[in-house]
Chain A
Amino acid sequence: MTSDNREEFLNFIAAKAERPRHQLTDHPFVPLNDLPETTLADKTPAELFALAKENSEAEHVTFKTAATADLPSVLDQMITDKTAQSLLLPTDERIAAYGLTDWAAQVAPRPTYWDPAGSRTENIQRAQDADLAIGCVEFLCAESGTITVATTPGQGRSFHFLPKHYVALVPQSRIVPRSRQAMDWYDTELKAGRLHTSNINFITGPSNSGDIEMVLVVGVHGPIDMTYVVLTDK
């Protein structure tokens, strides 16, 4: 069952439109302006940080900062605050890079990991059982308070959606003006073959809905709350 009817379909459309079939590569798309690139592009890192904080908090995010040395105590505090009975971590080299290896070995509750060798059912069940997940993300977009993360074998799709509470760790150097800069990076990495992923998530705050009387409800299918921890020395 593949696209055996593709030619017929495309020819029909071309005939209807009275335009011959053509390829985008023959006449690349030319944007009318460069606003996606230039908006906020002139901000200093300090200004971007302030914007990121303001816009994240507007999206019901708890916004925290920590130097790498303080990170374990910040995370401990969070486990206490959320009375988390179970903890999920990614199998990701950034955990070590953020100096969390020792912390992860002794933290209570004992963390479970999203396991690249684990089965679909095992990993999904771990995410479902987790009260708190601590994820490593690539970027924080200042304009919208959005974190961006590509799925990896050690940090799957459900990792960001099934746990009840969610913490995202992001280096301060990875705060970018807008979603455009993040997207440029993914686009380049994908096309260069350096990034192997089936999924990129742009996540802005906890899940929410206005479906009942347009009253904003925070926490529907995904995490019911969300914390960003910006690593000030990374």
Chain B
Amino acid sequence: MEKRGGHVYFAKKDTDAVNYITNLAKEKHVQRVVKSKSMVTTEIDLDKQLLKLPGMKLMETDLAEFILQSDNWDEPTHIVFPTLHKNRDQIRGVFEKLGYTGDNDPTRMARFAREYLRGYFLQADMGITGCNFAIADSGLINLVTNEGNADLTMAIPKTQVVVMGMERLVPSLKEAEVLDNMLSRSAVGQKLTSYCSFSGEQVAGESDGPEDLHVVILDNGRSNALGTPFESVLQCIRCGACLNVCPIYRHIGGHGYGSIYPGPIGAVLSPVLDGYEKFGDLPFASSLCGACTETCPVKIPLHRLLIKHREVMMDKLKTDKAFNKAIMKGIGMGTAHSDLFQMALQFDHSATLPFVSKKPTTVDNLYNHQGHITHAPSMAKGWTDVRDAPRPPKHTENFRRWFKDHEAQKGASNDDQ
């Protein structure tokens, strides 16, 4: 990339990436930005930060993202079809605010967006795109679209910024070609989408394309997956096939996940990127039917990773490692050694005295040894919070003693005969 004249910036966190891009925009006195659809810029919330710059105008140019932006920055619901939650009448309502006067026919509305956005394209001085794949050996960026907006974003503005997750790299054009085929088929059932482009900074003699190209390579939590069972989630090519087959996604829709990555992939990825405190519920939002794993073109074991998330979460957040563990160890020892166990049986009645209810018993149980335990300490508290525990009998009245006496009596009576 740098050999081709481009600039590469490695951003560890979302704020690093946003700062780099806003500084670049300031330095170049950028006034008009066009964007083509990019999940990763939504992830780092770039749009709103750029719009804070004085005089800045920014336009999402993917039809769906344009609709969302025009509807006061509504959130996307699907990786491939971000406006899946809106019907044509709602979209007409959004467009009417922009001056559209026609009916709710999708073609006419799309033509309106074409004309409306064309004006923006022609005046844009910075283009921001995502990146489907970055090609390591030739330094080209591969973008896959159907509308052609990404190509206009890469052709018209003088400055182009590419924001890519650090896992988007492929060795050469050949692998990109294989993955483009895979992506198109899995995402929309096409053999290839309308536009697959492989592009870099303008070379001598060409008159359009970026004169200045900046690529921001973003970590932002992706490295959390490295060296863990979740590493394979970085294989994701963002086709959205797992969403389409997911019974949970079909019922709750994309907004229900509270993350810009919805569906099974989102349920696996979001906790990796942002932690269990924020997205710990997502791995439980699954029937574990495994349809996602079955359909995934890059063979991410999605439902197994959901189970793994639950396991890690239980282990990390719910298991009390210190005190209870020590107690369990004590109980283990006590029950494993007969001397200790005998000793416990000697003292259990008197030792439970402090925990016995002081109130008089209203209903007497058959099994009653001077009161019931109503406020046991530590691990047993969970039990006595909701029900009474019977107090162990006195040592002289317990079962072992009774059995011993009983056997002795039986022996005596046998001797008599």
CB within 8 Å of B: which residues of A? 1-3, 5-6, 8-10, 12-13, 16-19, 24, 28-29, 36, 55, 59, 114-116, 118-120, 122-124, 128, 141, 143-146, 151-153, 156-158, 160-162, 179-180, 183-184, 186-187, 190-191, 196-215, 217-224
- Cβ of B146 within 8 Å of any chain A Cβ, yes or no, is yes
21 pairs, A vs B, C-beta closer than 8 Å:
A1-B23, A1-B214, A2-B7, A9-B217, A16-B223, A36-B177, A116-B207, A120-B207, A122-B207, A123-B208, A151-B209, A152-B205, A152-B206, A157-B154, A157-B199, A186-B173, A187-B172, A204-B190, A207-B148, A207-B194, A210-B146
Task: Report Cα–Cα, A28/B137, bound state, in Å.
Answer: 12
B206 contacts A13, CB within 8 Å? no
Task: Report Cα–Cα, A184/B176, bound state, in Å.
Answer: 11
Which B residue sits closest to A5, measured CB to CB? B10
B201 contacts A198, CB within 8 Å? yes
Task: Report Cα–Cα, A101/B4, bound state, in Å.
Answer: 35
B88 contacts A213, CB within 8 Å? yes
A3 contacts B9, CB within 8 Å? yes
Q: Chain B 146-157 against A: per-residue CB contact (8 Å), 1 yes, 0 no?
A: 111101101110
Task: Report Cα–Cα, A59/B190, bound state, in Å.
Answer: 9
B199 contacts A215, CB within 8 Å? no
A212 contacts B110, CB within 8 Å? yes
* Range of interface residues on B (Cβ < 8 Å): 35 or more
A16-B227, A156-B155, A207-B195 are known; give 4 further A-B pairs, CB within 8 A: A3-B7, A205-B194, A207-B146, A212-B109
Known A-B contacts A157-B209, A158-B155; the reply to A206 vs B199 at CB < 8 A is no
CB within 8 Å of A: which residues of B? 2, 4, 7-10, 12, 20, 23-24, 61-64, 67, 81-84, 87-88, 91, 106-107, 109-111, 113-114, 117-118, 121-122, 136-138, 140, 146-149, 151-152, 154-156, 158, 166, 171-178, 180-181, 188, 190-209, 214, 217, 219, 223-224, 226-227, 231
Task: Report Cα–Cα, A208/B203, bound state, in Å.
Answer: 29
B87 contacts A200, CB within 8 Å? no
Determine how close the nearest CB of chain A comes to the CB of B130; give it in whole angstroms: 16
A204 contacts B194, CB within 8 Å? yes
Known A-B contacts A210-B188, A212-B83; the reply to A153 vs B206 at CB < 8 A is yes
Which of B87, B148, B177, B190 neighbours the largest number of chain A CB atoms within 10 Å of its CB?
A: B148
Taking CB atoms, residues of chain B closer than 8 Å to A204 are: 190-196
Taking CB atoms, residues of chain B closer than 8 Å to A123 are: 207-208
Task: Report Cα–Cα, A10/B201, bound state, in Å.
Answer: 24
Which A residue sits closest to B197, measured CB to CB? A201
B203 contacts A196, CB within 8 Å? yes
Which B residue sits closest to A200, measured CB to CB? B198
Pick the contact of A118: B148, B151, B207, B214 (CB < 8 A): B207
Taking CB atoms, residues of chain A closer than 8 Å to B82 are: 211
A9 contacts B2, CB within 8 Å? no
Taking CB atoms, residues of chain A closer than 8 Å to B231 are: 17
* 4 closest cross-chain pairs (CB), A and B: A222-B148, A153-B205, A9-B10, A144-B191
Determine how close the nearest CB of chain B comes to the CB of A53; give it in whole angstroms: 14
B192 contacts A187, CB within 8 Å? no
Which of B88, B117, B155 neighbours the largest number of chain A CB atoms within 10 Å of its CB?
A: B155
Pick the contact of B208: A6, A158, A208 (CB < 8 A): A158
Determine how close the nearest CB of chain A comes to the CB of B171; give it in whole angstroms: 5
